Amino acid sequence: MTDPSTYTPPKVWSWNKESGGKFASINRPIAGPTHDKELPVGRHPLQLYSLATPNGVKVTVMLEELLALGHSGAEYDAWLIRIDGNQFGSGFVAVNPNSKIPALMDRSGPAPIRVFESGAILMHLAEKFGALLPSGGQARAECLSWLFWQMGSAPFLGGGFGHFYAYAPTKIEYAIDRFAMEVKRQLDVLDRRLADNPYLAGDVYTIADIAVWPWYGGLAKALLYDAGEFLAVQDYKNVRRWADAIAERPAVQRGRMVNRTWGELSSQLHERHDASDFETRTQDKLEDGTTTGG
């Protein structure tokens, strides 16, 4: 690796496959598929292709919340897309040309509708079912403002702080300091908003909370990048109170399990095709042979 203190950018950048650190094998400077692979299609109207990263968790939580509200049309199949090159299969690229999870195919109408980008999926589902998005006024404006705040801010947390603090092949003080400062500022923004409001849009739980919680709630509870002590997350008491309240919701607990491939086996539901899968097809049951599902 080049010493960061001596690196001078060339006039024209060229791709060095060896410079990407942990994710070098799956990063590339071009789009499009690398191989032909069709996506599976299940029996439900909504087909989700995802992984339980914070962006993926947003959508599975949303779907579980909709089902908990009685919207039976929100039944879904959740297919696991491992970020090991599968995101470059032709079928997945056709659903999301950006080759990122999550991606949704809505097959409930006369023609399938693809939706990609987690914020767009949340809005699509909220409008489709008339739920978790205020219909107007200040509450709707707040909800959408915080939703778009998250979409614009999270790259500083994930691709910025998370990458340089946890994944980069060398620890670069300037980069870590720069992104740590911004992440702490973002936590302070949230903490001030939540000082006088139970939820981001005010008194009601909305897609704004669903979008922000997997990222900043996880960070505040020291679940991301093992960075809780480094960022002194205990100082953000309002964010932590809000994060705890959302974590107690049964739909959130179910949504966190879907497409999860790490942690306790009992918390991993690699694919979800029926509500009963949470009881019968978690990874601990599959591996010890006690599953009753087909």
pLDDT tens by residue, 151-196: 999 999 999 999 999 999 999 999 999 999 999 999 999 999 999 9
The verdict on residue 169 lying in a domain is yes
Quick one: average pLDDT of 273-280?
A: 98
Q: Which of 163, 149, 153, 168 is nearest to 206 (CA)?
A: 149
Percentages of the chain per state (helix, strand, coil), in multiples of 5: 50, 10, 40
Burial 66-94 (b: 16+ CB within 10 A, else e): bbeeebeebbbbbbbbeeeebbbbebbbe
pLDDT score for 289: 79
Average pLDDT over residues 101-121: 97
Range of the domain at 143: 137-253
Q: Is the pLDDT of residue 291 over 70?
A: no
Residue 29 lies in a domain: no
Share of the chain above pLDDT 70, in %: 94
User: Cα-atom radius of gyration of the chain, to the nearest Å?
Assistant: 20
Q: How confident is the model at residue 6 (pLDDT cuts 50, 70, 90)?
A: confident
Q: What is the pLDDT of residue 293?
A: 46
* Mean pLDDT computed over every residue of the chain: 94
pLDDT value of position 294: 41
Q: How many domains does the chain have?
A: 1
Residue 240 lies in a domain: yes
- Whether residue 115 contacts residue 121, with contact meaning beta carbons closer than 8 Å, is answered with yes
| Predicted confidence (pLDDT) per residue in 15-54, tens digit | 887 766 666 667 889 999 999 999 999 999 999 999 999 9
The answer to whether position 228 is within a domain reads yes
Report the CATH number that the domain containing residue 214 is assigned in CATH: 1.20.1050.10
How far apart, in whole angstroms, are the C-alpha atoms of residue 236 and residue 190?
9
Nearest-angstrom CA–CA distance, 46 and 44: 6
Number of helices followed by number of strands (H, E) in the chain:
12, 4
Q: Which single residue is written with the structure tokens 């009963």?
A: 276
CA 283 to centroid of chain Cα atoms: 21
Tokens found for residue 264: 């306790």
> Is residue 53 a contact partner of residue 42, using CB atoms and an 8 Å limit?
no
Mean of the pLDDT values across residues 100-115?
97
In angstroms, the first-to-last Cα distance of the chain is 50
Calculate the alpha carbon distances from 249 to 2, 171, 217, 242 in Å.
Answer: 47, 37, 14, 12
Q: Residue 186 falls within a domain, yes or no? A: yes
Is position 57 within any domain? no
Q: Is residue 153 part of a domain?
A: yes
Integer Cα distance of 207 and 213 in angstroms: 10
Residue 287 lies in a domain: no
Contact, 42 vs 77, CB < 8 A? yes
Alpha helices in the chain (DSSP H): 54-68, 90-95, 118-129, 137-155, 173-194, 207-212, 218-220, 228-231, 237-247, 250-257, 277-280, 283-288
Task: Provide the pLDDT confidence category of residue 288 given band limits of 50, 70 and 90.
Answer: confident
State the average pLDDT over residues 90-95: 97
CA distances 50 to 60, 111, 195, 238, Å, are 9, 22, 33, 30
3-state DSSP assignment of residue 286:
helix
